[in-house]
Amino acid sequence: MHSTPFNIETDLPPIPFDQRVYEMAAQLKKSGLPWKPCAGCFVWDRDEHMDVPSPFPDRLYFILNLGRFLEIFGSLENIVKKLIWVPTWHQARLLCDRLGVDKVKISDLLFNEKHAGTDDVLHLYNILLKHLNKG
């Protein structure tokens, strides 16, 4: 099977491909964001641990088959240690609920039209970051 890379000019990205998103995800990791690698997660290989090329820009990978990532890294702990999870908008919303983030903060974000696209994800990440750093 021939791999077809993501075309940033014509394809609709599943998450924002933006360095600000990746860097904020790295801050979330540094602040202790809990994560168990699983299928359906995007990860950023900032330090170039993976030899296989990414189909997405900026060394962003999608975990479709966790077994393949386990072959590369050897354990879930190594995946968590060496990669940076880049939660989707939906995953970030679920994390807010799971971590007990104030629902008013989330509802204010959802009904604010000025936070569209990449800003939506960044604002959710910022809410999570503030929540993680307060405790």
Reported as a single tens digit per residue, the pLDDT across 12-56 is 999 888 999 999 999 999 999 999 999 999 999 999 999 989 999
Q: What is the rounded average pLDDT for all residues in the chain?
A: 90
Confidence band of 1 (pLDDT split at 50, 70, 90): low
Domain containing 65 equals 19-134
Total domains in the fold of the chain: 1
60 occurs within a structural domain? yes
98 occurs within a structural domain? yes
Question: Roughly how many angstroms between the first and final C-alpha of the chain, as a whole number?
Answer: 48
Q: Up-side HSE of residue 46: CA atoms within 13 Å toward CB?
A: 17
Query: Are 42 and 62 a contacting pair, CB within 8 Å?
Result: yes
11 occurs within a structural domain? no
8 occurs within a structural domain? no
Backbone angles phi, psi at 46, to 5 degrees: -60, -40
Per DSSP, the three-state class of 111 is: coil
Query: Are 22 and 46 a contacting pair, CB within 8 Å?
Result: yes
pLDDT of residue 90: 93
107 occurs within a structural domain? yes
Rounded to two decimals, what is the model's pTM? 0.89
118 occurs within a structural domain? yes
